[in-house]
Chain A
């Protein structure tokens, strides 16, 4: 997981309690609720310059920082290939 991803997510994780976010930590258990997903997506667009396709917007993608990063990294790669 890119450190920028952990940094981006941390403000949404009210139950992180000062710990560092690991790639396999459940985002839900750390406090991310589905209503905040849209804000996370906006931040991903701002920080990484990519947007996730609609079919990636699932519980599985938002399960952990690691799974979310995998989805973002796939879009970054696609962007590089096409540019």
Chain B
């Protein structure tokens, strides 16, 4: 099979997404049609090497596609980016039988992977877990409540963090795979948020018994997966989605302003300055993502403080700057084009969606970690 160029495949998905974005936002329902197209195009298996039936996409491809999807629908972009993060963990850390079982399914687009890492009481803190897995008759018992599971109702399988069995410390966390058929899923609350409405990220309970080989990497060693895969993929991936959303908003504003020549005063210095500032914010985020991607691709040990600080800076900066850019665009084009729900600029939805960016693994929490990392990096060298 010769795959079409990635841009063409992405175009097929964004076309479907465009058709449904208004409804999925209104109804807070998952973009199932766009997910189907992600399956059909093979983009769900983007990172699987070509020799194993995938598209052989790189980290740069993941980020670029996240941005392209974000231009149309930030919920869909985040769904895609987080799936890619799960796939990257499987490709890098699952081995033997588990890898053989999962990779062909991912490549074929039959396995949309949901992430179960949140827990009540610890928020998004990744490196500890309250729920413990237990052994019974050689199987892993899973009984887990998760307050936020993006796309949980649609996922074909889950990667779940649990306190590793026989662990003494709450920072011995394991990552286990569970197929949808292996767990009983009970929704535990609805999803009626301000923005990101199509991400369907409601709470759920998962219960089941898993074969012992379904641990990704070593038991208790989730920390390594976070440093090498989850951290960089999450922060660069999310930032790319947000950049896409703000870029899409700016693009639609420009189309609106150019389309209303004669009615809009293009000599307005206030309008020009605001457009300029929005563009500058997005260029800053774009440059930061590109630089961090290069560092991630070329650095052997990502645990060095200056690298961790850079990866965190991408997330913090993108969350703030993309939101601010769209917020200022609302001022730039005013009540009718910037604030009404049915304006073709869709600034209202972009602003609501981007409001979640600082909360998604909270910037406050990241600043606390960064403060300590800054103390560890006395010479202040940049990655």
Interface residues of A (CB under 8 A from B): 14-15, 17, 28-31, 33-35, 37-38, 41, 51, 54-55, 57-60
Report A-chain residues with C-beta under 8 Å of the C-beta of B305: 54, 57
Q: Is B377 touching A60 in the complex (CB atoms < 8 A)?
A: no
- Separation of A37 and B379 alpha carbons in the complex (Å): 17
Whose C-beta in chain B lies nearest to the C-beta of A55?
B304
**In B359-383, which residues have CB < 8 Å from any A CB?**
369, 372, 375-379, 381
Report A-chain residues with C-beta under 8 Å of the C-beta of B378: 51, 54
With A29-B168, A59-B303 given, name 18 new contacts (CB 8 A).
A17-B168, A28-B172, A28-B223, A30-B169, A33-B127, A38-B372, A38-B376, A41-B376, A54-B304, A54-B305, A54-B378, A57-B304, A57-B305, A57-B377, A58-B301, A58-B303, A59-B301, A60-B301
B83 within 8 A of A: no
- Separation of A37 and B372 alpha carbons in the complex (Å): 9
**In B153-172, which residues have CB < 8 Å from any A CB?**
167-169, 171-172
**Secondary structure type dominating chain B contacts:** loop
- Separation of A55 and B220 alpha carbons in the complex (Å): 26
CB distance from A37 to the nearest CB of B (A): 6
B29 within 8 A of A: no
- Which of A28, A37, A41 is close to B171, meaning CB atoms less than 8 Å apart? A28
CB distance from A19 to the nearest CB of B (A): 11
CB distance from B93 to the nearest CB of A (A): 15
B290 within 8 A of A: no
CB distance from A60 to the nearest CB of B (A): 7
Question: 14 A-B residue contacts at CB 8 Å?
Answer: A15-B169, A28-B169, A29-B167, A29-B171, A34-B372, A35-B369, A38-B375, A54-B304, A57-B304, A57-B376, A57-B377, A58-B303, A59-B223, A59-B224
**Secondary structure type dominating chain A contacts:** loop
- Separation of A30 and B127 alpha carbons in the complex (Å): 14
Q: Is A29 touching B220 in the complex (CB atoms < 8 A)?
A: yes
CB distance from B126 to the nearest CB of A (A): 11
Report B-chain residues with C-beta under 8 Å of the C-beta of A28: 169, 171-172, 223
Q: Is B169 touching A31 in the complex (CB atoms < 8 A)?
A: yes
Known: A29-B220, A54-B377. A60 touches B303 (CB 8 A): yes
B39 within 8 A of A: no
- Separation of A57 and B376 alpha carbons in the complex (Å): 7
Q: Chain B CB within 10 Å — which of A14, A15, A51, A54 has the most?
A: A54
Report B-chain residues with C-beta under 8 Å of the C-beta of A34: 127, 369, 372
Q: Is A54 touching B375 in the complex (CB atoms < 8 A)?
A: no
B227 within 8 A of A: yes
- Separation of A31 and B167 alpha carbons in the complex (Å): 11
B306 within 8 A of A: yes
- Separation of A54 and B380 alpha carbons in the complex (Å): 9
Report B-chain residues with C-beta under 8 Å of the C-beta of A15: 168-169
Q: Is B379 touching A29 in the complex (CB atoms < 8 A)?
A: no
Whose C-beta in chain B lies nearest to the C-beta of A51?
B378
- Separation of A60 and B223 alpha carbons in the complex (Å): 12
Q: Is B220 touching A58 in the complex (CB atoms < 8 A)?
A: no
Q: Chain B CB within 10 Å — which of A14, A30, A31, A34 has the most?
A: A34
**In B301-352, which residues have CB < 8 Å from any A CB?**
301, 303-306
Report B-chain residues with C-beta under 8 Å of the C-beta of A35: 369, 372
Known: A28-B223, A35-B372, A38-B376. A54 touches B169 (CB 8 A): no
- Which of A17, A29, A33, A37 is close to B376, meaning CB atoms less than 8 Å apart? A37
- Separation of A56 and B381 alpha carbons in the complex (Å): 13
Whose C-beta in chain B lies nearest to the C-beta of A31?
B169
Whose C-beta in chain A lies nearest to the C-beta of B228?
A59
Report B-chain residues with C-beta under 8 Å of the C-beta of A57: 304-305, 376-377
Whose C-beta in chain B lies nearest to the C-beta of A32?
B171
Q: Chain A CB within 10 Å — which of B169, B304, B369, B378 has the most?
A: B169
Q: Is A59 touching B127 in the complex (CB atoms < 8 A)?
A: no
Q: Is B381 touching A59 in the complex (CB atoms < 8 A)?
A: no
- Which of A30, A41, A54 is close to B381, meaning CB atoms less than 8 Å apart? A54
CB distance from A12 to the nearest CB of B (A): 12
